[in-house]
Amino acid sequence: MAEQFKSKITNRLYTESLYYDVKLTEKYSKMLGLQLFAKLNAPVNPEELLVLDVTYSNPDICQRDLAKLLVKDRANTGRLLESLEKKELIKRVVDVKNNRLVKKIMITESGNQVLHDVMDKIFPLFDKISEKFTDEEIMIVKDVLKRMRDSFKDIVELQI
């Protein structure tokens, strides 16, 4: 087995890389999310739910900080916020931070309700997927993914 692993490394095939495995998993995860949200007739898409969740977890967050947490540029973040604002799920208010005007994002009562309703519907699926793994395996995967993200942060130049 070790010899087989060594030969894959020396062949240096993209499809044998950890990066490819993570990317492929991300694609399946995204497809699953889109299909699930469509089946649920959810009033938000997965990206909008993420914005609601981050906003709920970080009250009065500003757009720039939200963009950093989402790892999205400010223009894409702005479009997501505009969509959620039209749905009256968030509101943006002007405030002062470090003597500068900033738009803070606040989740509305309807946004809070949508967030919890959708989460109540999708978590049973997450739990079903998690049943195939032990708690220890889940913690290992989460730890490895975090270390991988941290490694990427050392290399990637974010333009947010």
CATH of 13-121 given 1.10.10.10, 3.30.10.20, 3.30.1550.10, 3.90.79.10: 1.10.10.10
**Model-wide pTM > 0.85:** no
Q: List Cα–Cα distances, 113 to 45, 86, 107, 126, 151, in angstroms.
A: 15, 16, 10, 20, 36
CA 46 to CA 11: how far, in whole Å? 37
Mapped onto helix, strand or coil, the DSSP state of residue 62 is strand
Please write down the HEC assignment for all residues of 10-22.
Answer: HHCCHHHCHHHHH
Q: Quick one: which of 160, 46, 60 has its CA closest to 107?
A: 60
What averages of pLDDT result for each successive group of 10 residues across the chain (160 residues)? 54 85 93 92 96 95 92 92 98 87 93 97 91 95 92 80
Residue with tokens 């333009």: 159
The token duo for 69 is 């947490």
How confident is the model at residue 10, as a pLDDT? 58
- Convert 29-64 to b/e letters by CB count within 10 Å (16 or more is b): eeeebeebbeeeebbbebbbbbbbebbbeeeebbbe
Q: How far apart are CA 153 and CA 14, in angstroms?
A: 21
